[in-house]
Structure 1
């Protein structure tokens, strides 16, 4: 390393060339990097989907179980496998271990799926990789007109956007033209015409009519001659059925600002930046407005590109402010020339980080921008240590060979600087492997920090010495620009020798008392956290620009109550919009969108809010006022209001598992009963309660004394022998005879055949073709009303149900409820239902997984740091001494949160983990300096005091630059950036307190170690005279 440092120090052209390469490549990488609001997170997993043409819960269950068995037995790469099946489809969700080869796993799954023979009426399996697409724009087209016209206008906008090169454009709120043939079941009974024979004849009749428009198609179908069984002849279809042209919603019903609307969403692709997409969307909207009548209202109701620029703009402004503050501090503590070249290292290191991000395929987003802001103060630490060492050697040398002094100054400190950077990298590394969505967001921070610190190391050891090889000609009389530094130097010297050194000597004399006070304070503060006096809100409340309200009803109440309740939410939202906009004098709430998805028992209302820096009210306050404005929603089983990406963890979630459906249901019912009896607990729900009305089919068995009961859509094993039940599903749900053009690019037309009457009396009389005979249905089976599960969920081969409840935390806290459940209730339930297992679900479960991974990562990081410092110092005791400062960095982080009134979040914990490596750096360099002095012959106490006195300036400087670099984001008041503030507080205040630890506690602990090792330590009261 000595040779490499000397090579670049002697050849300024090589050093400047290296810097130029980093700058040019960094600028190129920055220009070509993708820009996103938040990183697109490829989740390690894939989804498999298939569905039958006839609705059937049990048939989908059988298929799901078959696919699940093949995947779980033969695909060892899958970490967890979840199955969800309903009457309409079967879905398998496979999760892979972090970092698994995704393409290989998907190819393997495809090969396994090809070995499973599906029933003839099931669609081929569809395998999709998990990916969170990032929406850039949502455009609304509203008008008081026919839904089909709105859909056509939306398709027109999609065509314009595609023509401008935007590929990922998705139509929402689509409508499909239908010709509905509603056959009279009484006519089928009279003519003894089986439903299946009628559908076969109509499918054959439709073949030559494919290209006809809907009206002509209806006329031709009405005149189609239907062949009746036996010698009854033919009759026109119109005699036994009513033909009607309808428009069926494919996605649901939507209103925007109280008008029926269709929406179009534009997503980020791999070929266009955010600003390009936003500009082309604006162009397409303008062109569509010119083409449509004035009665159409075309508007941009969600512009995430503006969110990106607002949020990254906030961080860039804070970064510029932090950079100026860092330079100001360096200017005060250093000569202007040294301060300038140290500051130049910051953008060079940042540009180097952009090269790394581009090579790794990462984007420029809010998280990566924050990471640069976080590392802003740290990145100058290495340069400060190297620059200070070079500057000191230049002023100590008596010869004219300044180059040798520069090389010696850099070489003297490169080992502690190198190891200090490595310890910081190690402390950040565990953040790259956190689970969950929030863990993935945090996971981008360490890569930015590591890349920045790596290039900072290159800059301070290979480039900075060449820039400092010539010093100012006049060092005795300060120039005008150096006078602030000269004044600061005098004040710092007076502080060092008149205040700090006497306090240090006194503290070392009473070192055991000093250590006791420090650790007593540590215990006191951590006890405040454990007792709950310092708020811990593990998952952070990330503000969104969209506030969402959801209302859920029982499945059987979907048609009767869901539209009314959603409309009530919408009206309260419109009223709140008017109130807030009047109060603030601007558009605090810009748009109101209501949506009821097809076949769903949940309705949604969205408020598009002003950007965080333009908004006067927080999302939490808007949620509260909206909920108050709405009032009680009768017949709703659940109502939620949230303007955050993550909901609160102040609730109860428990996931139950069992291979026995009956035991799972009984255990769930027992737990629900106990939860419902508690005060402070409301909205107690179980996913196993979600049922819907259906029919039960009773088939006679081979044994006349027994009968087998199956649901109407059930299957009798094996799957191939269920033709009767498939027909039953068609009678109840209808049959699609023709599905043409079912995509976004042209008109879609469906022809459906349904029964006009689903009553049991009619169903029992329907004729069924049994080979050579046509028998009434009641001669084969019976039909009774029944409830069946809306959806069944399995996880890793077991049935599962989620128990949830809301808590009034002033009456009953989340932790106390979990304590009661785990200590009292669940042991009793397991004794009664031994096959049932459980774990904490919901956000509380995510919190536990995240905390476990953080703690394990923290332990590994400390172990690696310990080994690195042991290698550097060739000692086992001194690494322990250095790591003594780690908990005090956490103490500073906690104190900072309490002082500024912020709760501790996962971002705070991540900041504490990161600050652990930072606080080790000062101690490492300090101990290195003490050892060097002691080895040169100084007594232990003198070496400690002299080394601390010498290191006071760089320790203060590195700590102050780190703190002031983060000061702008710590004082940021924009709602958009609030979730990032805790990590900045943890890092900034952790470093500040660690400074006091490095300057007072570590010297005292060093002497205690010397006491225990038997080394002579002079009476500290008599050491002052021998200090240099």
Structure 2
């Protein structure tokens, strides 16, 4: 009966046809596959944003946040609810439990909860709460910045036109305008004139609302036609509000708005101002559609910019900023360049050991496996992004492992003189089992990544899937197609001469292994001692940091000035800081410095710390790492020291934009409870942290806000004088920020109307104390006669954790001196030893930030490692039919990890999460080499009547030297260009590739010597157990009665 190997070997036309189909499918897939920067994942986050202009943080908390939270806390399937109540805005962030069954149902329940809370929300909300599900698609694909020495009206018109045009481009889902102020008509009231005419604010508000109406009166039907009856009272022009009649006294003698106020056509007050390289700008943030291709969308935007340059108004310039597609292009460039270099090195390694035809066919198998992987990726819903490219780079050297083992087995039989067809079938068949098992164990080694929790798990889940695809494609090519190619690679020539240079190397290695096997217990002792020494070295020089700082291209500067600083003052101080940064960064390395005045939010998924005219965010964009001389870490270290000494700034935080999904700070302690004692507790813990080694900065989430003016009403006096709290609230709003009373919707934009006192009369305590109100009877009433006025300091934001007020204690650390775990452990021990929680039983603590993320990420990975190790053990047991030999193979893994410690230690790299993923790949390679070697020794032992002597073990190991060395060298050759940036580097993947390359170098050498020794020890153990058992049975036979 013909075997599957023989079937394909005897049908070269079928094999070649399969090759053509794979190449065509792979090339077609590369044109149709989805390209993007980040994998498309659901973050499990929902933001609920509600705006109420003019409301203070406490008002927002009690009137908006609390009602919404009350309903949300009843929703099943939520893991955490946090909120931030700030001036004029409430932001609630809901994290959905990853274990929730139906996430769509949870989202629907969240929307229902928000709708239920609507009956308790203030009636004067301009818009309903906005519920947004966060995903990686929320990150803008690109920003377009409009600036120039032109009036703001010109910038606004250009931004509006370009935003409308950009929305029509293919792949664009939305365009957000930042730094774009809405038009506003300010009705500047004269308070003295209002008092003279006995006019109330409510009377003016109602007059404007009644006049500005556009409504339908239904249809007018006749026998001839049907006509729509439309009642139009809407303003034709924003300034037409001047003509509104507030009070009609007698015909021809009415009080109009222009009689009591000055009408000014203006813009709303600055909330957020955008500045590009020091110039006032409006930023357009383009987001792509869910089904759109990221690289194509970015290309569309770039083409759009070039096309529209000629159509811009004179003086207006447009710049592309933060084009995130460049990360994908950089990764593609790194992959392409290093793949070509690695491919050349792989061919060189193969040619050193194999005949040229075999080396070429194995190398061709690498490209075939890659194209087959590309063809399969759309089937499982994967595209080209940072994570899938990382997996391809990691697997680049391993793609030829199966082919190398198969080709070397065929080569050995050709060297023995077998015909090509027989050599191909027997050679491939001899290694089929270990090759299949090796592939399966490598896939199982990466499986723990799928069990990662938190954001890392969402981002990294594609790695094990890609590993399975890549190795599956390589396995299929090496067992089904490669033997057919190798059978016909040498034509009719029946023999292939061996590589002469390798024979003395193999002989010398045979003698060395024989000496090690003869002294196997001493050899094992030396290995154990060396491993312990390397562990001690690692404990001294290495540090464990899941999220180390790398040389990144983007740096954020979060600026806070003393409370009360004006918007214009913040602009001036931000400009000074920008000039200082420019002086420290060479012009050739700098791309842009983008400034946002009014906030310092850095969360790319929408979380906000609020708005404050004393805050600013400066973002420094530099050229990619390989194209600049400036090291971002050195720059950050120098600037932190320099900026901390600057006067006039309350606080400046310098932090790199992380290229890992890190959420939070090294220390992020939530002090939860409504009791004000949380402030005292936070101060005491902050004092403790400030004394800890390695802690560089300590602060809390408390930020002083505007002073709160409290009105303590005498309700009896209110009733006696015919006033209501609502009327007084309106009047107070007019005296300060103003009262939005109506809006005019035009075709291009919306214009709002704001009632406000004149500039000289508003925003002052004197105005409030002397404020005169007009009651229902048209009589003037002084505010002071019905209310007592008190002033107290306020908070800029009030934060909640699961419905209760919270204060967060933050700290940054020097990761070279202390780890996240160490500093949090010290803090927890201090709390326990001092009994702080026992002193404040109404408060509780929650350790969040990086520590929480590590708990979520690594919480299940320990169990996953055990499950995967057991799975690998089961597979090996099924292959070898033994329990001891799989343990022998797994015992070599810890010794191979010593290479990781040495490699990372010499390079000064910490043991990070990314490096740990490289360790998983290393485990796969080590198991592969050991499986091939043990399988070969078992075959040789079977031919030697069930036992190998020391010489037999040495000979068997030497016979497998070539395939093991080839697979290791090709794997390392594929990794070295990326590990050391020979053709471009990526800080994100360097630790992973570095750990794997060094581990393979060490692991291969260790396996080639340690495995034969362990194999001999296993035989000794079997023989000893057999001898002892025989002796026991013999002793039992001697004691039988009657003998």
Give the superposition deviation at 1:866.
1.9
Contact 2:43 2:458 in 1 (8 A): no
1:319 aligns with 2:321: no
**1:869 and 1:690, CA in 2 relative to 1: closer, same or farther beyond 3 A?**
farther
State the match for 1:113 in structure 2: 114
Contact 1:57 1:86 in 2 (8 A): yes
State the match for 2:628 in structure 1: 615
Contact 1:186 1:762 in 2 (8 A): no
Alpha-carbon separation, structure 1, partners of 2:308 and 2:361 = 54
State the match for 1:997 in structure 2: 1006
Q: Helix, strand or coil for the counterpart of 1:79?
A: strand
State the match for 2:265 in structure 1: 245
Alpha-carbon separation, structure 1, partners of 2:73 and 2:641 = 49
Alpha-carbon separation, structure 1, partners of 2:362 and 2:694 = 58
Q: Helix, strand or coil for the counterpart of 1:660?
A: coil
1:139 aligns with 2:153: no
Give the superposition deviation at 1:440.
4.3
Mapping 1:624-1023, distance limit 5 Å: 624=637, 632-645=645-658, 653-676=667-690, 683-699=697-713, 732-741=736-745, 746-755=748-757, 756-760=761-765, 762-763=767-768, 765-767=771-773, 777-778=783-784, 780-807=786-813, 817-827=823-833, 828-847=835-854, 849-852=856-859, 854-936=861-943, 937-942=945-950, 943-972=952-981, 977-1015=986-1024
Q: Which whole-Å deviations, capped at 9, do the CAs of 1:616-662 have from their partners, x for residues lacking one?
A: 22223444565677674323232133444269999752322424343
State the match for 1:427 in structure 2: 445
State the match for 1:496 in structure 2: 506
**1:344 and 1:81, CA in 2 relative to 1: closer, same or farther beyond 3 A?**
same
**1:682 and 1:955, CA in 2 relative to 1: closer, same or farther beyond 3 A?**
closer
Q: Which whole-Å deviations, capped at 9, do the CAs of 1:17-72 have from their partners, x for residues lacking one?
A: 33333322222221111222333443123222333466153454344333333333
Q: Which whole-Å deviations, capped at 9, do the CAs of 1:663-710 have from their partners, x for residues lacking one?
A: 4333223223434566875643111344432222324689x9xxxxxx
**1:113 and 1:282, CA in 2 relative to 1: closer, same or farther beyond 3 A?**
closer
State the match for 1:553 in structure 2: 561
Moved more, 966-975 or 22-31: 966-975
Contact 1:911 1:984 in 2 (8 A): yes
Give the superposition deviation at 1:224.
2.9
Cα root mean square deviation, aligned: 3.7
Contact 1:515 1:1001 in 2 (8 A): yes
**1:790 and 1:412, CA in 2 relative to 1: closer, same or farther beyond 3 A?**
same
Give the superposition deviation at 1:768.
6.8
Q: How many residues align?
A: 978
Contact 1:148 1:247 in 2 (8 A): no
Aligned counterpart for 1:408 among listed residues 414, 426, 429: 426
State the match for 1:715 in structure 2: none
State the match for 1:50 in structure 2: 50
Alpha-carbon separation, structure 2, partners of 1:593 and 1:384 = 52
Alpha-carbon separation, structure 1, partners of 2:429 and 2:495 = 29
1:525 aligns with 2:527: no
Alpha-carbon separation, structure 1, partners of 2:839 and 2:726 = 37
Give the superposition deviation at 1:567.
1.6
Give the superposition deviation at 1:318.
0.4
Give the superposition deviation at 1:454.
0.8
Give the superposition deviation at 1:459.
1.0
Q: Which whole-Å deviations, capped at 9, do the CAs of 1:817-838 have from their partners, x for residues lacking one?
A: 4443222245421121224333
Moved more, 860-869 or 236-245: 236-245
Contact 2:558 2:654 in 1 (8 A): yes
Q: Which whole-Å deviations, capped at 9, do the CAs of 1:305-356 have from their partners, x for residues lacking one?
A: 4454344212210011111111111111111222222112211211222123
Contact 1:289 1:298 in 2 (8 A): yes
Q: Helix, strand or coil for the counterpart of 1:175?
A: coil
Alpha-carbon separation, structure 2, partners of 1:210 and 1:445 = 62
State the match for 2:179 in structure 1: 173
Contact 2:698 2:810 in 1 (8 A): yes
Give the superposition deviation at 1:854.
4.6
Mapping 1:356-371, distance limit 5 Å: 356-371=376-391
**1:676 and 1:754, CA in 2 relative to 1: closer, same or farther beyond 3 A?**
farther
**1:878 and 1:198, CA in 2 relative to 1: closer, same or farther beyond 3 A?**
same
Mapping 1:97-246, distance limit 5 Å: 97-98=97-98, 101-116=102-117, 117-119=119-121, 120-122=123-125, 123-133=127-137, 134-165=139-170, 167=172, 168-189=174-195, 191-207=197-213, 217-218=238-239, 220-227=240-247, 234-246=254-266
Contact 1:53 1:121 in 2 (8 A): no
State the match for 2:21 in structure 1: 21
Mapping 1:377-388, distance limit 5 Å: 377-388=397-408
Q: Helix, strand or coil for the counterpart of 1:636?
A: coil
Q: Which whole-Å deviations, capped at 9, do the CAs of 1:191-249 have from their partners, x for residues lacking one?
A: 55332232222222333798657xx533x333433229999995333343332222236
**1:721 and 1:882, CA in 2 relative to 1: closer, same or farther beyond 3 A?**
farther
Contact 2:273 2:598 in 1 (8 A): yes
**1:727 and 1:847, CA in 2 relative to 1: closer, same or farther beyond 3 A?**
farther
**1:99 and 1:146, CA in 2 relative to 1: closer, same or farther beyond 3 A?**
farther
Aligned counterpart for 2:329 among listed residues 297, 306, 309: 309
State the match for 1:602 in structure 2: 615
Give the superposition deviation at 1:3.
4.6
Q: Which whole-Å deviations, capped at 9, do the CAs of 1:510-567 have from their partners, x for residues lacking one?
A: 2222222212222222233334x22444314354433332212344335475323212
TM-score, normalised relative to structure 2? 0.85
State the match for 2:464 in structure 1: 446
Q: Which whole-Å deviations, capped at 9, do the CAs of 1:100-143 have from their partners, x for residues lacking one?
A: 65433322322343333343334433221112234343333222
Contact 1:341 1:467 in 2 (8 A): yes
Alpha-carbon separation, structure 1, partners of 2:343 and 2:644 = 50
Alpha-carbon separation, structure 2, partners of 1:646 and 1:527 = 31
**1:894 and 1:693, CA in 2 relative to 1: closer, same or farther beyond 3 A?**
same
State the match for 2:82 in structure 1: 82
Alpha-carbon separation, structure 2, partners of 1:654 and 1:305 = 32
Give the superposition deviation at 1:433.
4.0
State the match for 1:571 in structure 2: 579
Aligned counterpart for 2:318 among listed residues 277, 298, 301: 298
Contact 1:760 1:784 in 2 (8 A): no
Q: Which whole-Å deviations, capped at 9, do the CAs of 1:350-374 have from their partners, x for residues lacking one?
A: 1222123222333213332232121
Give the superposition deviation at 1:912.
1.0
Give the superposition deviation at 1:911.
0.7
Alpha-carbon separation, structure 2, partners of 1:230 and 1:822 = 77
Contact 1:618 1:975 in 2 (8 A): no
Q: Which whole-Å deviations, capped at 9, do the CAs of 1:273-298 have from their partners, x for residues lacking one?
A: 55544554444434443334543333
Alpha-carbon separation, structure 1, partners of 2:638 and 2:669 = 32
State the match for 2:514 in structure 1: 505
State the match for 2:95 in structure 1: 95
TM-score, normalised relative to structure 1? 0.86
Give the superposition deviation at 1:1015.
4.7
Alpha-carbon separation, structure 2, partners of 1:686 and 1:912 = 38
Moved more, 910-919 or 280-289: 280-289
Contact 2:897 2:999 in 1 (8 A): yes
1:462 aligns with 2:490: no
Unmatched 5+ residue regions in structure 2?
215-231, 600-610, 718-723, 1028-1043
Alpha-carbon separation, structure 2, partners of 1:468 and 1:1017 = 45
Q: Which whole-Å deviations, capped at 9, do the CAs of 1:823-881 have from their partners, x for residues lacking one?
A: 22454211212243334433354345445455444333222212222232233322221
